[in-house]
């Protein structure tokens, strides 16, 4: 990152600190956005909101060990959907570079594919290695590189980061589970770490039980 970009990043952080963000996980305004990156059935009754970092060892552990079970049991069956938010642990370097790579791949409809490849890359996050990932995905490499070099999504990445910190995220991965159609109608269940599948299962089943008692016309 150049010196100018370094100061620009801190300027973004300063601006975001002054914006209106939720004071706690009991404020549901942060939960649903029009630009969310959603995995699974948009109408799934339960949402898992994940704050994560591609370079985090525990995040990788979750992706390799717990995520496949959640995916097969709940995502692919339409019961749960996942929203991914970036929570880079540093203001520059691989934590930000990988988040940027996934977002830029998303411009070409390959967000989740790049997401999965980054978590499966054995922590190979150099610029050349990320470029190779783009080539392997058959992206328009020129467009991808321009997006990465321009740091096009820097502000939105750090908005995720600052928002997460404001609602109590202190490390990654961090998960918040809630009812999709009407978050206020149920509990906000927090899983602060890469816990085993059975912990997620217990929380998901609890919310699915609550969802079954809610009116089908609940507001989004």
Q: Where are the domains of the chain?
A: 16-21+36-211
Q: What is the mean pLDDT of residues 86-95?
A: 92
DSSP category for residue 30: G
What local confidence, expressed as pLDDT, does residue 4 receive? Answer: 52
Given a cut of 90, is residue 195 above it in pLDDT? yes
Buried b (16+ CB within 10 A) or exposed e, 167-198: bebeebbbbbbbbbbbbeebebbbbeebbebe
In this structure, is the dihedral angle defined by the CA atoms of residues 51, 115, 129 and 157, taken in order, positive or negative? negative
CB atoms within 10 A of CB 3: 7
Whether 23 has a pLDDT exceeding 90, the answer reads no
pLDDT per residue as tens digits for the range 36-60: 899 999 999 999 999 999 999 999 9
What does the alpha-carbon distance between residue 173 and residue 170 come to, in Å, rounded to a whole number? 9
- Give the DSSP H or E segment for 93: none
Report pLDDT for 11: 46
**What's the CATH number of domain 16-21+36-211, 1.10.10.10, 3.40.605.10, 3.40.30.10, 3.40.50.300?**
3.40.30.10
Share of the chain above pLDDT 70, in %: 83
- Identify the pLDDT of residue 167: 87
167 or 113, which is more confident: 113
pLDDT at 25 over 50: no
Per-residue pLDDT, 90: 87
């Amino acid at each position: 990152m150049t010196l100018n970009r370094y100061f620009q990043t801190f300027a973004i952080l300063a601006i975001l600190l002054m914006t209106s963000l939720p004071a706690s996980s009991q404020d549901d305004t942060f939960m649903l956005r029009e630009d969310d990156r959603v995995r699974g059935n948009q109408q799934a009754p339960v949402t898992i909101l994940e704050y994560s970092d591609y370079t985090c060892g525990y995040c990788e552990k979750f992706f390799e060990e717990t995520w496949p079970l959640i995916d097969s049991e709940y995502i692919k069956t339409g019961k749960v959907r996942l929203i991914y938010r970036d929570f880079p642990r540093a203001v520059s370097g691989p934590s930000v570079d990988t988040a940027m790579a996934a977002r830029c791949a998303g411009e070409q409809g390959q967000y989740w594919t790049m997401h999965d490849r980054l978590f499966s890359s054995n922590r190979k996050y150099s610029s050349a290695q990320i470029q190779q990932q783009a080539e392997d995905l058959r992206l328009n490499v020129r467009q991808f590189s321009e997006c990465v070099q321009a740091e096009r999504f820097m502000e939105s990445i750090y908005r995720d980061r600052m928002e997460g910190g404001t609602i109590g995220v202190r490390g990654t991965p961090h998960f918040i589970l809630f009812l999709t159609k009407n978050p206020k109608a149920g509990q906000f269940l927090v899983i602060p770490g890469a816990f085993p599948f059975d912990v997620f299962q217990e929380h998901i089943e609890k919310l699915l039980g609550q969802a079954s008692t809610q009116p089908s016309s609940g507001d989004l």
